[in-house]
Chain A
Amino acid sequence: MLFNSIEFLLFFPTVFVLYWLLNKNLGYQNLLLLVASYIFYAWWDWRFLSLIIISSIIDYRAGLSIHNATSPKARKSWLLVSLIANLGFLSIFKYYNFFAESFTQAIGVFGWQPNDLTLNIILPVGISFYTFQTLSYTIDIYRKQFSPTTNIINFFTYIAFFPQLVAGPIERASNLLPQIEKKRIFKKEWFNEGILQILIGLFRKIVIADTLAIYVDTIYGDTGLYNSSTILLATIFYAFQIYFDFAGYSDIAIGTAKLLGFKFHQNFNLPYFSRSLTEFWRKWHMSLSYWLRDYLYISLGGNRKGIKITYRNLMLTMLLGGLWHGSSWNFIIWGGIHGVVLSLEKFIKSKPQFKFLDKLAFLGGPITFLIVIIAWIFFRAQTLDAAMTALKKVIFFKPGMPFMGDLNVLANSMIILFIGLCFDYYLLKSKTKLEEFGKNFSIAKISIVIGFMILFINLFYSSSNNFIYFQF
């Protein structure tokens, strides 16, 4: 079920009413959340529910066994069970075809032509997200940072909790599970914040991102056809499309959870105002970047084993982070670009002779944005060839008028984007956290603000596309 669908418009109020009616009984309330979450997921494809259930059973058992194990070997074995099961599912459903194709191409270089090894596999929605979520649970228990739950319903609800099931934010057990196990209290401030964040998210998604998508999809449909300025404009639009799309999704998820009395972590914090790529990654898809830092980068040794190992770890983390997004070389290159620049920033920061660069800090924002959009070319292009064609056009820039297409679409895109950026700039300047926007609004004020937001959404929404991050 999509957040921006009529089904969800009926589904959520029903769940909301039943949920708060059951407030006196935590067990029933959690059971309702679990059933609702499974319905939410099954709306897309009920068959893949079995994957979530199997993952949940394995990790529930693994969590308890790691915790209760008396020997380090047993603890490690149970962790391995969890890792192999979760990463196994992910590898089969997400990466099998990629590795099979790459293998076929690689041995083709030596003249061997094996039969087609690829399989007709559907990627289950949300598998990358809930796999990381379940892994964090068992790893935290293994590291003795968290105690497992003994309530299977609560654990299953944690894995399947519908606001964040299909596209995050990746909420760790240490944050979400204690909230599931504790009685929730309805708070007026959270209600205000939740509703406003849902509507802001909806606006970001169906008004801004989907409007920008029209131009971007046209140009990236065939990058060979258009001139440099067109590709550059489409890439800048894409940078904002993906931001408003995914930040919008996260807003709806965080707002929805808040209406049910849960507090998620912030997932985006105005990343395009960052002055370095390191800062960008502290503000972009924060639940993933912190996951990668805590469970991959630190597990590899982080920065504790010397400078060379630190760079290696950084590169590996970003390459695997790229691969997490999708099984193609484009995503790996995207991760690679980020890895190289992050390493470079680390290198510059560690050398006193580069101190003079501090004076050029004002260039940090534009340079970061430029690097980010160049990397987005690989993220957006359908194939490596298309990405290279687009990249060449941007690097060897030939001035010319960009392709206009439907002028209304272009004008709409510009104006809508301007509104979105103005709002972000307001949040930045007023140091307001979006998650707390509208906290103390009176009933009259919140009603009028929501009334206007609904009006704007009705007048400007674009035909609905799937959320970009669903494909990951």
Chain B
Amino acid sequence: MKKDSLLYIIKVTFFVVLAAFLLDKLTYLGLTELNSHVFTGQSGGKTNTFLSKKNNLDLIVFGSSRANHHIDPLVISKNSFNIGVDGSKIAFSGTLIKTLPKNKEQTVLLHISPKNSFEDSYKGEDITTLSKYYHQNETIRTEMVSLHQNSPIKNFFWCLNYNGSVLGLLKNYFFPKHSSEKYHGYDPLHTNKEQQQVFEKVLAKRKPNPCKKKLSLNIVYKKYITELKEFCEANNKRLILFTAPIYQDDCKNDDETLSQLLKKEKIEYWNFTDFFANDRSLENWRDNSHLSNIGAEKLTQEIKTLLNNDQN
């Protein structure tokens, strides 16, 4: 290769890296500035709202969509928030729990799925939803590092932390859905007749899932269950794990095994899997594992009663 060709490659490589680095940092700073003003939207805005309110809350609901759409925290307490986010599992919720203030009395309701708890392949990938806070929040950074969910490329390209969320962020910045003051994180699932018909068709075609015989608690779940128990005990928090209802639950052994494990750990656990066993009306449901707003209201009332009974 000629010398001038080599020089050309070096020059292009250098300037490409420089341009990519500068554009990345400028965009990251711009997006972070926008993000700090966004308080609506499932992942970004909702987490921002939680982080801004968390120090003054006395009841917080954590978990996946099965927490988000199922518990209206306002029915239980005025100082409450539901930070359930679709698709999230224990790493996301556990990390946010660890950001709660020390020594402030709070009730933590954490949704746990028995099926996910015994899944071997789960490595805490859902924590990457919090990537955009990697360079801003130490607790989140520490957790991401401990779960090996921080790609080394992200140390160079910070904008990777905003992957997939830019359009949502812009939409929520320019057209916020609601005021953060009035939002308590609960997103009810209102269903219509067509959706109910789809659910009926799905049920008709549904084949039972095979059940695992050997159940061993996933290593990430194990880590968080132990650490959250310690964190809550040390910081004046009541930790309650719960499982939301399922229309057709194929496997019972995972529920039982999880229940025993948590009992052994002395962790409070409420299993609502069969909460609607005697009320099979489809109006309570959106799909097999999600309640409609009607079902969610009933579940919220039950949780409120249980919490009040405990207080009395």
What residues of chain A have their CB less than 8 Å away from a CB belonging to chain B? 6, 20-21, 23, 186, 188, 191-192, 195, 222, 224-225, 408, 411-412, 415, 443-444, 446-448, 450-452, 454-455, 458-462
Contact pattern, B 1-32, Cβ under 8 Å of A = 1, otherwise 0: 11001101101100110111011100100000
In the bound complex, how far is the Cα of B11 from the Cα of A195, in angstroms?
14
Select the stretch in B154-162, B218-226, B237-245, B263-271 that faces chain A: B154-162
In the bound complex, how far is the Cα of B296 from the Cα of A28, in angstroms?
69
In the bound complex, how far is the Cα of B16 from the Cα of A42, in angstroms?
32
Name the residue among B2, B6, B12, B159 with the largest chain A CB count within 10 angstroms.
Answer: B12
| In contact, A446 and B16 (Cβ under 8 angstroms) | yes
In the bound complex, how far is the Cα of B19 from the Cα of A447, in angstroms?
6
- B contact residues around A195 at 8 Å (CB): 12, 16
In the bound complex, how far is the Cα of B151 from the Cα of A6, in angstroms?
11
Contact pattern, B 26-43, Cβ under 8 Å of A = 1, otherwise 0: 010000000000000010
- B contact residues around A6 at 8 Å (CB): 153
Select the stretch in B74-82, B106-114, B163-171, B273-281 that faces chain A: B163-171
| In contact, A450 and B16 (Cβ under 8 angstroms) | yes
In the bound complex, how far is the Cα of B204 from the Cα of A222, in angstroms?
13
6 examples of A-B residue contacts, CB within 8 angstroms: A225-B202, A450-B16, A451-B19, A458-B163, A459-B166, A460-B166
| In contact, B16 and A451 (Cβ under 8 angstroms) | yes
Beta-carbon nearest neighbor of A451 in chain B:
B19
- Of the residues A23, A455, A461, contact of B20 by C-beta under 8 Å: A455
| In contact, A186 and B16 (Cβ under 8 angstroms) | no
What residues of chain B have their CB less than 8 Å away from a CB belonging to chain A? 1-2, 5-6, 8-9, 11-12, 15-16, 18-20, 22-24, 27, 42, 153, 157, 159-160, 162-164, 166-168, 171, 198, 201-202, 205
The secondary-structure label for the interface of chain A is helix
The minimal Cβ–Cβ distance linking B23 to chain A, given in whole angstroms, is: 5
- B contact residues around A412 at 8 Å (CB): 164, 167
- A contact residues around B171 at 8 Å (CB): 411
Beta-carbon nearest neighbor of A463 in chain B:
B164
Name the residue among A222, A446, A447, A452 with the largest chain B CB count within 10 angstroms.
Answer: A447
In the bound complex, how far is the Cα of B1 from the Cα of A450, in angstroms?
24
- Of the residues B22, B42, B167, B198, contact of A451 by C-beta under 8 Å: B22
The minimal Cβ–Cβ distance linking A206 to chain B, given in whole angstroms, is: 11
| In contact, A186 and B1 (Cβ under 8 angstroms) | yes
In the bound complex, how far is the Cα of B11 from the Cα of A446, in angstroms?
11
| In contact, A224 and B201 (Cβ under 8 angstroms) | yes
The minimal Cβ–Cβ distance linking A455 to chain B, given in whole angstroms, is: 5
The secondary-structure label for the interface of chain B is helix
| In contact, A408 and B167 (Cβ under 8 angstroms) | yes
A455-B24 contact, Cβ under 8 Å, with A191-B8, A191-B9:
yes
In the bound complex, how far is the Cα of B164 from the Cα of A114, in angstroms?
52
- Of the residues B6, B23, B153, contact of A452 by C-beta under 8 Å: B23
| In contact, B202 and A186 (Cβ under 8 angstroms) | no
In the bound complex, how far is the Cα of B10 from the Cα of A443, in angstroms?
11
In the bound complex, how far is the Cα of B23 from the Cα of A188, in angstroms?
25
- B contact residues around A446 at 8 Å (CB): 12, 16
| In contact, A225 and B198 (Cβ under 8 angstroms) | yes
A20-B12 contact, Cβ under 8 Å, with A408-B168, A452-B23:
no
| In contact, B157 and A447 (Cβ under 8 angstroms) | no
| In contact, A455 and B27 (Cβ under 8 angstroms) | yes
- B contact residues around A448 at 8 Å (CB): 19
In the bound complex, how far is the Cα of B175 from the Cα of A440, in angstroms?
42
The minimal Cβ–Cβ distance linking B187 to chain A, given in whole angstroms, is: 12
The minimal Cβ–Cβ distance linking B163 to chain A, given in whole angstroms, is: 6
Q: Which 8 A-B pairs have the closest CB atoms?
A: A451-B19, A447-B15, A447-B19, A451-B20, A186-B5, A451-B23, A454-B20, A20-B1
- Of the residues B2, B12, B19, contact of A191 by C-beta under 8 Å: B12
| In contact, B15 and A443 (Cβ under 8 angstroms) | yes
| In contact, A188 and B5 (Cβ under 8 angstroms) | yes
Query: A23-B1, A458-B24 are known contacts; what are 6 more A-B pairs with Cβ within 8 Å?
Result: A450-B20, A451-B23, A454-B23, A458-B157, A459-B166, A461-B163
A462-B164 contact, Cβ under 8 Å, with A186-B5, A443-B15:
yes
In the bound complex, how far is the Cα of B154 from the Cα of A6, in angstroms?
13
| In contact, B167 and A455 (Cβ under 8 angstroms) | no
The minimal Cβ–Cβ distance linking A188 to chain B, given in whole angstroms, is: 5
In the bound complex, how far is the Cα of B23 from the Cα of A452, in angstroms?
7
The minimal Cβ–Cβ distance linking B57 to chain A, given in whole angstroms, is: 27
- B contact residues around A20 at 8 Å (CB): 1, 6
| In contact, B19 and A450 (Cβ under 8 angstroms) | yes
In the bound complex, how far is the Cα of B2 from the Cα of A309, in angstroms?
56
- A contact residues around B1 at 8 Å (CB): 20-21, 23, 186
In the bound complex, how far is the Cα of B205 from the Cα of A257, in angstroms?
49
The minimal Cβ–Cβ distance linking B105 to chain A, given in whole angstroms, is: 36
- Of the residues A186, A222, A444, A454, contact of B2 by C-beta under 8 Å: A186
| In contact, B160 and A458 (Cβ under 8 angstroms) | yes
- B contact residues around A458 at 8 Å (CB): 24, 157, 159-160, 163
In the bound complex, how far is the Cα of B201 from the Cα of A222, in angstroms?
11
The minimal Cβ–Cβ distance linking A437 to chain B, given in whole angstroms, is: 16
- B contact residues around A23 at 8 Å (CB): 1
| In contact, B22 and A188 (Cβ under 8 angstroms) | no
- A contact residues around B163 at 8 Å (CB): 458-461
